Structure 1
Amino acid sequence: MNASKAGSAITWTDPDDAPELSDEFFERADEYAGENLVRRGRPAGSRKTATTIRFDDDVLAAFRATGKGWQTRMNDALKDWLKTHSPV
């Protein structure tokens, strides 16, 4: 049988101490349209699919070294390659 535990002390936080909500915050926020989640920053009709793929360690290290957004840059590099090459 579980014994009743004393409740945690509630500390009041002044709403004026809350961080400022900047434009960057809202640009990165998720937006719902009804029950559907709409991610901001992607053009309408631009769909992406999660997948598992293997790359050489040096290729991943090179893209990761470029910092935040490396996956988008890798995707852009592959799109650029497709402009001049046939994947078949």
Structure 2
Amino acid sequence: MARAQNGFVSGQGYTKEDWDDVSDNPEWTAEEIAQAKPFAEVFPELAESIRRQRGPQRTKAAISIRLDDDIVAKLRESGPGWQSRVNDAIRAWLDKGVT
């Protein structure tokens, strides 16, 4: 849910108490914005500690495979990332030497 121009809107994991804690902060002026420094420049150690890094990149091929409807339904019901989990399961199966 989007933030209201001048008021609290629920959602995004913030409570009304959170809003009240910061509601008296003044808006930045154009001069303050121009003088602002990037977070990583001001807090380099903290920025490095929270930097997210992607894992090893692999190329993937889009293929077509025919599976039973009930299998596809169960896979999709398992939620986001189901295709990656299928990929990992096939990799584990192949790594066992089953071909």
Larger-Rg structure = 2
What interval of TM-score do these two structures reach, taking the shorter chain for normalisation?
Answer: 0.3 to 0.5
Which has the bigger relative contact order, CA under 8 A and spacing at least 6? Answer: 1
Query: Could you tell me the TM-score, scaled by structure 1's length?
Result: 0.46
Higher share of residues assigned strand: 1
Q: Which structure is higher in helix share?
A: 2
Using structure 2 for the length normalisation, give the TM-score: 0.41
